[in-house]
Structure 1
Amino acid sequence: MKDYYGLLGVAPDASHELIKTAYRRKAAQFHPDRNPDADAAGKFRAVQEAYETLADVERRKAYDETRRSSLIDDPLAVAREIWSNYLGNMQK
């Protein structure tokens, strides 16, 4: 499961405004017109997907519930995903 909070660099209890601000910052950073890296377009799409999910109240609620159950069902995989996103955000 993708860690949308980690992709945007916000906490799971972040407000809608904080999520929106983080999205705009990441979208500007990875927009293909502004970032010449080969993987910029893929990162931009991932950031868009994260924002679309977290900005919608119902989709965010469903995502959070799935995230909680995934953590219970396969904690090691989820922990690795969260940790890799955390380290990725620290290096940027």
Structure 2
Amino acid sequence: YARLNLTRSASAKDIKKAYYRAALQTHPDKVDEVEKEAATARFKAISEAYEVLGDDNLRRVYDASG
């Protein structure tokens, strides 16, 4: 939730919107060459968070176990 700047009560629509907003800001193709490595790491972290939170079953497991 922190990677996407969300709370546990966020809806699926909120999660999707937060992911797209964060992805646009951190996508490696959208930053300078100097920042590309750091942007790649941030983008991967955001994508992993979206994979879990965007899937209802994985989100339920994550909420139960952390």
TM-score by shorter chain over 0.5? yes
Offset from partner CA, 1:1-41 (integer Å, 9 cap, x none): xxxx0000011110000000000000011100002213000
The aligned runs of 1:1-92 (5 Å cut-off) are: 5-36=1-32, 37=35, 38-67=37-66
Structure 2 Cα separation of the partners of residues 35 and 26 of structure 1: 13
Q: Deviations over 1:32-86 (max 9, x none)?
A: 000221300000000000001001000000011112xxxxxxxxxxxxxxxxxxx
Indicate the structure (1 or 2) with the bigger Cα radius of gyration. 1
Percent identity over the alignment is 41
Aligned length: 63
Segments of structure 1 that go 5 or more residues without pairing to the other structure are 68-92
Runs of 4+ in 1 over 6 A off after TM superposition: none
Amino acid at match of 2:21: R
- 3-state SS, counterpart of residue 8 of structure 1: coil
Structure 2's unaligned 5+ residue stretches are none
The letter of the residue matching 2:10 is A
Letter paired with 1:41: T
CA RMSD of aligned residues (A): 0.7
